Each structure stands twice: as C-alpha cells, then as structure tokens.
Copies of this chain bind each other. A is one copy, B any other.
Amino acid sequence: MIQLLASTRSKEYPIYLSGGAASDVGSLWSSQGRGGKLVIITDSNVAELWLRKVEASMDDAGITASSIIVEAGEAAKSLERAAELYSKLFALNVRRRDAVCALGGGVVGDLAGFIASTYMRGIGLVQVPTTLLAQVDSSIGGKVGINIDEAKNYVGSFYQPDMVVTDPDLLRTLPDAQLKEGLAEVVKYAMLSGEDFFAAMESSYEKFLGMDMAFVEPVVRRCIEYKLAVVSEDERDLGRRAVLNLGHTVAHGIETAGGYERYSHGQAVSLGLLAAARLSSEILQLDAAYGERLRVLLEALGLPVEMHGVDPALVLRSMASDKKADDDSINMVLLEELGRPVINCDVPPGQMEAVVRGLGED
C-alpha cells in the first residue's frame, strides 16, 4: 500500500493508493483513530458495482456505517439534492465527530464533499474515487461544490478530506467514455510534468487502455503527486494552482457552447490542450513538434482532436463572459516547454479566435 501525504495550509491527510484498497477503506479509517460513524454517499451506478465491498470493509472494521444512494448524473449536484442529503444526515443523527464517505466519481465527490464541508459547519470526509478523473484530480485538493441553475460549481468550499483511498482496480469496470474523461487529465499532467511522463504515455498508452496495473498505478500516482505539490503551495487557488487549468479555458468555452452535450468535459479538455499547445508555440515559442506529438497521443487515446458541431463564435463568446470589454485579452496557462507552465499569459482576442477556429469549423 502506497501512502502519500497531502499537506495543505488547512489540513494534512493521507492518500492510500493500491490495487484492492477499496476492501480496506474501513480498516484504514479505523487506523485514523477518529471514531464516530460513517455515512457512505454514492450514486446508483457505483452502488451496484462497489458499495457492498466498501460496506463490508466497514463491517470488518467494526465501524457503524449507513449508505445513501443518489441518482447518477450531474443533476445530483443541485441545492435540492443537497437539502435532501442534509435532512438524511439529520435523520441519521450525524454529529460533528462523524464523517461522510464519498464513493464515486467527480459528481459524488463534489456533492458529498460539499455536504461534509457544510453540515454542522464541517464533519469528517473520506474520498473513495471510483473514476480515473476523480482518482487523478477531483478527489484531491479540496475543491467541493454544487451547481446553481445558471452555472456549474458556483456554490462550494475549499474543504480537504481526512483521508483518500484510491484503488486503481476500480477502473477496470469504468465505461470507455469515463476512462477517456480521465485520460485527458492524465495527458494534461504529462504536459505539466515534462518529457519523461509525456514520453511514457506516448510509448505505453496501450498498457493504460488495457488496464495493465503495472503501468496504470504509477501513472495515477504521478498525477496525484503533481497535484499535491501544487495544492500544498496554493490551496485556495490564488496563484500557482492555476497551472492545473492548462487546456481548461478553451475547454470550458467548448463545453458551454456545446450545451454540455456535444462534448464531455474530457473531450473538451482534449481540444483545449491542443489549443493551449498551439498558443504556447505562438506566444512562448514552445517547439511546434510538441503540438503534433500531443495530437497523435490524444488521437491514440480516442480523444477528439478536431472540433465539430460547435460554433467557434459561441466558444469564443462563452470564454469572454467574464471579461470587461470585447478587446480584453484572455488570461491562460501556457507552456514554454513541456514541464514548464506559465500562468497568467495574455492571449489577444484575435489570436484566440484563430486558434479556436483552427480546431475545426462546420
């Protein structure tokens, strides 16, 4: 069992990483010595696959645990669902010494994490991420939140978990589309980390797609370690943490313009990374060969490298929504080299337009 230590301004906590770790959630929580009861929050898809295993681990460890199953899907991240969960925790007589265990992907982690951060002004939180995206990204770093009708993730907290248990074996049952969600983030980490990680993905990506754990587990670890290093310096996203937005500025524009239907988050990130690479070459003189290598890698992973069915003008408008004037430049993370991100790069609107249009027009 690999144990990584997350060290942020507000809290230190362990991240346990190992194939099969899902069977040990109970004993690992016991070993934290917190006591209290635990309420597992999961969704209808994950419950069928993994809930029994995690519940059994609680039984084995002598932990009093209950489970709440929410409907799978982004709609769960609403204030209405949150209100129901608060009432359920109250009915279960959950108190400050108790904890929530988020068993699921990004939606469950964000929702259950937000509930834990606000119920009685904050109770314990265990993250057991079941998707690649959640394992390498959303389960660590403490960003939790829900949506309002008007916009995603507009209500939330920075709230670190007390423990994360990451079991890459759970990825074996992940639907292909969800695996790709995570792979786009893995490629992002590879670009941020440098040649070594990037080249490993180029040469061995098939091992990842084939769920060869001897490759998958170290890759997941590398992503976690990168994120931990960033978050430990900048928990509240005021500076360096912005590097994690590589590719996400354009990606959010694409997601929004596509009504969150045409492209999934991961697919949009794939296109966003390509746009970031292009702009990095134009503005920071990143070797253009990386853009081509990136395109080949993303394509090999089954991620989109051309944009279709979304109006580039709409993408640009979505990205511009928080600027003050139309001629303001857009603030982005770019790379001066693989492994050397630069935050707060100003991209002139004309240049942005050319690159977004270059992703593909209908």
User: Which A residues fall within an 8 A CB radius of B?
Assistant: 10, 79, 82-83, 86-87, 90-91, 93, 95, 117-122, 143, 145, 148-151, 154-158, 236-237, 322
Contact A121 B157 (CB under 8 A): yes
> Of all chain B residues, which has the CB nearest A146?
B118
Contact status of A158 and B90, CB under 8 A, knowing A79-B82, A82-B79 = no
Contact B149 A121 (CB under 8 A): no
Contact B122 A155 (CB under 8 A): no
Interface of A is mostly: mixed
Smallest beta-carbon distance A149→chain B, Å: 7
- Cα-based distance from A236 to B95 in the complex (angstroms): 15
Contact B90 A156 (CB under 8 A): no
> Of all chain B residues, which has the CB nearest A10?
B10
- Cα-based distance from A119 to B158 in the complex (angstroms): 11
Partner of A87, one of B82, B143, B150: B150
- Cα-based distance from A95 to B236 in the complex (angstroms): 15
**Residues of chain B lying within 8 A (CB to CB) of residue A10:** 10
Contact A157 B117 (CB under 8 A): yes
Q: How many copies does the complex hold?
A: 2
Contact B322 A95 (CB under 8 A): yes
> Of all chain B residues, which has the CB nearest A151?
B90
Smallest beta-carbon distance A123→chain B, Å: 11
Contact A157 B154 (CB under 8 A): no
Contact A148 B87 (CB under 8 A): yes
Smallest beta-carbon distance A353→chain B, Å: 23
Contact B155 A86 (CB under 8 A): yes
- Cα-based distance from A121 to B143 in the complex (angstroms): 8
**Residues of chain B lying within 8 A (CB to CB) of residue A95:** 322
- Cα-based distance from A237 to B121 in the complex (angstroms): 10
Contact B83 A79 (CB under 8 A): yes
**Residues of chain B lying within 8 A (CB to CB) of residue A154:** 86, 90, 119-120
**Residues of chain B lying within 8 A (CB to CB) of residue A87:** 148-150
Smallest beta-carbon distance A314→chain B, Å: 19
- Cα-based distance from A148 to B80 in the complex (angstroms): 12
Contact status of A83 and B158, CB under 8 A, knowing A10-B10, A121-B143 = no
